[in-house]
Amino acid sequence: MAEYLASIFGTEKDKVNCSFYFKIGACRHGDRCSRIHNKPTFSQTCLLQNLYVNPQNSAKSADGSHLVANVLR
């Protein structure tokens, strides 16, 4: 049984662990994902969350200039 579980770890057959997160390091479902995201204690990759702000999703003031995030709070 342990050999079988080890053989499917990180694959689509694994219904417990998120295979996409295992391969890529990020999942489009984020915290809402029904599977477990095993985060390594150390890695060669640096993940910078929310680094890119899509201009279409940012708020604009009445004069058309973009508002800063801390002003919106």
Quick check: 22 and 40 in contact, CB under 8 A? Answer: no
Q: What token pair was written down for 21?
A: 């997160």
Distance between CA atoms of residues 9 and 7, nearest Å: 6
Best CA proximity match to 38, nearest among 58, 23, 21 = 21
pLDDT band at 69 (very low <50, low <70, confident <90, very high): low
Phi-psi region of 43 (alpha: psi -120 to 50; beta: other; left: phi over 0): beta
Amino acid, res. 61: S
- Output the pLDDT for position 66: 63
Average pLDDT over residues 54-62: 71
For residues 38-67, average pLDDT: 75
